[in-house]
Amino acid sequence: MDIFANLMLGVSVSFTPANLLYCFVGTILGTAIGVLPGLGPVATIAMLLPITFGLPPESALIMLAGIYYGAQYGGSTTAILVNLPGEPSSVVTAIDGHQMARKGQAGRALSTAAIGSFIAGTIATLLIAVFAPLLAAVALQFGPAEYFALMVLGLIASIVMASGALLHALGMILVGLLLGMVGTDVNSGVSRYTFGMPLLSDGLDFVVLAMGVFGIGEIIANLSNTEDRSAMTKKVTGLLPTRDDWKRILAPILRGTALGSVLGVLPGGGAALASFGSYSLEKRLARNPQEFGQGAIEGVAGPESANNAGAQTSFIPMLTLGLPSNSVMALMIGAMIIQGIQPGPSVMTSQPALFWGLIVSMWAGNLMLLVLNLPLIGLWVKMISIPYHYLYPIIIIFCAIGVFSVNNTTFDVFGMAIFGIAGYAVRKLDAEPAPLLLAFILGPMMEEYLRRALLFAKGDFSVFLIRPISAGLILVAVVLLATLLLPSIRKKREEVFQEE
């Protein structure tokens, strides 16, 4: 009965006209930026963070969440029609989806992706409603030592899904931790790494860093991308799956949903990992595995369900533990902090309307995406053909206006430009910037929990090892890091990213 009452609270919050409008705006905008390769939800959410200042917390998070899972829908459109995934999690969809489009079956592929995503999103939303309160109840038993150990595990786990060398990913984490230390030390009041600049006394602004690294940096990187983005077809027909299609896709959808729901909780990019895992699973279980790569509809249904389920269950650690599982969740935590909300297990008790309203809005958003995406296929096809040199000046202008509006200072605009160049340099070095953002968000919280734990233990570092939960989390982190250093595991990891 508690879950039913909580869901009714969520319905009362998310089904107001204003929040439905923000959900609609988020899902449509998310689909659009998923369709346009090179933008992505991270850059878009970073650009829109300043807009959320004037919105109620529920409306702000509902819109930002809609952008995230809407991008999962949109990414499949370009993957199928253009063989150019709009999102990393849609890479696998392009393998068979584009082959179906070449055979004149683009409508079947697109409808399969949309239906699979809706079913997966619905089931994942129910799983969040059931398991998130349980995890939050457990997390309420955590002390400073447990939270510090949990965040260490989160950063180590983020290395798993960071493309490029392990040393690069570890370096990004260290840089993120250092950037998070800029500003005034809360305990001593001493300025750290400010270089005598008063504007840095409050630390680096999260919006400036996110917009620079993921917004401007992504734009600079995409300017060197000369890939052809012409669609295979200008008219898509046959959008409704046949009875035979339903027989072939139902089991892959359910398997992909189950796999994505589990892997989505993992730090570092569970949605992309889930789509790859689902494709491998379906190929092994298929009666005719030779069809995969030639236009097998199961190769679209499974991965699309898996990546959408993974995208939604990634909200579980963010909502219950205050721990971001990927860069988008780090931005969501940034949005909560901007709204004056302390992320963590107390959100469910102190902000129940926000917690349950966001969960219920996910189902409403998935329904909107199913109803609107297929009829608007023609619009998405036209958007694919927009030359990038028309898009990037508009994006840069919005980034500059958004950053300036945060503190009304040109210092932030210049800071965004500097981080944009740094973000581009990071990409050219084949390093993944996502761990940097995760570390920047978690760094100050890790420092706070580390100091609290040592204060309670009178400076005894063994407090992290004598408490069972923190000792277990640190042990898992050490084992995971040691496993990643094994030559066989490192080789397998490199092969996966080369395939991607």
Share of the chain above pLDDT 90, in %: 5
Q: 10 Å Cβ neighbour count for 91? A: 20
Tell me what pLDDT residue 489 has: 62
d(CA 440, CA 182): 10
Give, as one character, the DSSP assignment of residue 216.
I
Q: Domain span at residue 425?
A: 3-498
- pLDDT-flagged residues of the chain (< 70): 1, 37-40, 83-89, 160-164, 225-239, 266-273, 378, 381, 383-386, 388, 487-500
What does the pLDDT look like over 349-359, one tens digit per residue? 788 888 888 88
Domains held by the chain: number: 1
pLDDT at 163 (0 to 100)? 61
Residues 439, 466: Cα–Cα separation, whole Å? 26
**pLDDT tens per residue across span 431-490:** 878 788 778 878 888 888 888 898 888 888 888 888 888 888 889 888 878 877 776 666
pTM above 0.85, yes or no: no
pLDDT of residue 156: 81
- In this prediction, residue 19 carries a pLDDT of 92
Among 354, 445, 343, 353, residue whose Cα is nearest residue 139? 343
Q: How far apart are CA 147 and CA 87, in angstroms?
A: 31
First to last CA, the chain: 44
Token digits of residue 37: 């390769």
How far is 30 from 312, CA to CA, in rounded Å? 14
pLDDT reported for residue 1 = 46
Report the alpha-carbon distance of residue 123 to residue 129 in Å, rounded: 10
DSSP 359-428: HHHHHHHHHHHHHHHTTTHHHHHHHHTS-HHHHHHHHHHHHHHHHHHHHS-HHHHHHHHHHHHHHHHHHH
